[in-house]
Amino acid sequence: MDIRFEQLSSGVAVIRLKGRLDITGAMKIDVQFAAVAAANRAVVVDLGEVEFLASMGLRTLIMGAKSMRSKAGRMVLYRPIPLVEEVLVTSGTTTLIPVVHDLAEAEAQAQAA
Amino acid sequence: MIREVQLSAEVAEMPRLAAWVEAEAPGLGLSDRQTYAIQLCLEEVVANLVMHARPAAGAGIAVTVRIEDAPLRVTVEDDAEPFDLTALAPAAPASSLEAAEAGGLGLGLVTAYTTAREYRSEGGLNRLTLAFD
């Protein structure tokens, strides 16, 4: 599981995840993910290269989005593959954190007031 | 066709379990969706054993995972103290991020990704059988 960060010119922070967001993957990125979520008002999480997502990974995403919300920030999930998106929908996560497949739309939603 | 793997209930074993399913998938004729569903359910069930199960004897918990095809079934057998996951009610989805709590999503996923779940405990062994489409 890899985690990388990028600041877009719009000011939006992008967290790029790659690999398996399972129990070992979540344990590996949890601290860094939470730190970036805490330090930014608008975060887009690029899930495009996440091949597997299970409940421990959902926990990482939801707890990050929750801590951002408590400080009036927003997280958006960007371009999950279909099998990963199915887990997001089935678990009810898409009702808590928006999922979009277009970067401009992701940036706009992350910056929405 | 039956495939079987043995592991101990430790986090360090989880990658090996996922890789084993991946490696067995072609031979069992599993679709990508079936492979994902099985990996997902095994991750939730075995992670639960790793984090919460109490060894019945002194030395750790031994786990045997079996996959059989036609019909597709996955069995997780362990020698921990009995604990019936299927008797728990899955957590209700949070209505908002403010109300969201850590954890509780795994059981709901297992329920959603399987067609039936059966738990039996006898002779010091607990056996959870999961059925898939």
**Which one of B35, B36, B52, B98 makes the best mutation probe of the A interface by having the most chain A beta carbons within 10 Å?**
B36
CATH code assigned at A107: 3.30.750.24
Q: What is the ipTM of this complex?
A: 0.94
pLDDT band at residue B84 under the 50/70/90 scheme: very high
Q: Least CA distance to A73: which residue of chain B?
A: B97
d(CA A102, CA B127): 45
Residue B93 confidence (pLDDT): 80
Please provide residue A6's backbone torsions phi and psi, each rounded to the nearest 5 degrees: -155, 140
Which of A22, A59, A95 minimises the CB distance to B14?
Answer: A22
Residue B47 confidence (pLDDT): 93
Ranges of chain A whose pLDDT falls below 50: none
Residue B83 has pLDDT above 80, yes or no: yes
The reply to whether residue A59 touches residue B43, judged by beta carbons under 8 angstroms, is: no
Residue A23 confidence (pLDDT): 94
CATH code assigned at B92: 3.30.565.10
Contacts of B4 (CB under 8 A, 6+ apart): B64, B65, B66, B67
Residue B132 has pLDDT above 90, yes or no: yes
Tell me which residue range forms the domain holding B118.
2-131
Q: What are B86-115's pLDDT values in tens digits?
A: 998 877 888 899 989 877 799 999 999 999
Listed residue (A21, A24, A13) closest to A61, CA to CA: A21
Tell me which residue range forms the domain holding A97.
2-111
The string over B27-65, giving b where at least 16 C-beta atoms fall within 10 Å of a residue's C-beta and e elsewhere, is ebebeeebbbbbbbbbbbbbbbbbeebeeeeeeebbbeb
Q: In Å, how far is B123's CA from the nearest CA of chain A?
A: 30
Q: Using a CB–CB cutoff of 8 Å, tell me whether B99 touches chain A.
A: no
Q: What are B10-61's pLDDT values in tens digits?
A: 999 999 999 999 999 999 999 999 999 999 999 999 999 998 899 987 778 9
Residue B68 confidence (pLDDT): 97
| Domains held by chain A: number | 1
| Domains held by chain B: number | 1
Instruction: Look at residue B101 and give its three-state secondary structure.
Output: coil
The reply to whether residue B97 touches residue A66, judged by beta carbons under 8 angstroms, is: yes
Residue B103 confidence (pLDDT): 74
